Amino acid sequence: MSIQIHQAIEWVGKSGTAYRYYIWPRGSYVDGGPPGNFIHVKETADGVLAPVFISQTEDLNVRLLSHEIQECVNSNGATQLHLHSNYKGEQARIEEAADLIARWQPVCNAQETK
């Protein structure tokens, strides 16, 4: 059995709440498929991290629910996947995603609402 260690990062929502996420390569598989929140992130040339799409799911292996969102994430240069296991229930995951979206306003979340 191998153990993967992922660098942690805190994303702060509009409410001021900090959420701890772990940085994974895009396309990663998470053992057990836990419920949680995820962020597709672009790292710019100067090292700045910018969320491209933020959401929640019952299974962290199922992240992009539509072809349009996947195209948006890809065309906006997402280079990383930030994951946060969250067993507090769907409502808690929805609230966390909404808090982060309100602060960061990712381009693909804006497209999702159109």
Kindly report the backbone phi and psi dihedral angles of residue 30, in degrees, each rounded to the nearest multiple of 5, phi listed first: -105, 120
Confidence class for position 59, pLDDT limits 50, 70, 90: very high
Query: Distance from CA of residue 52 to its chain's centroid?
Result: 8
- Domains of the chain with bracketed CATH: 8-112 (3.40.1440)
pLDDT digits (tens, 9 = 90+) for 77-102: 999 999 999 999 999 999 999 999 99
Q: Order of strands across the sheet with 18-25?
A: 8-12, 18-25, 80-85, 36-43, 49-57
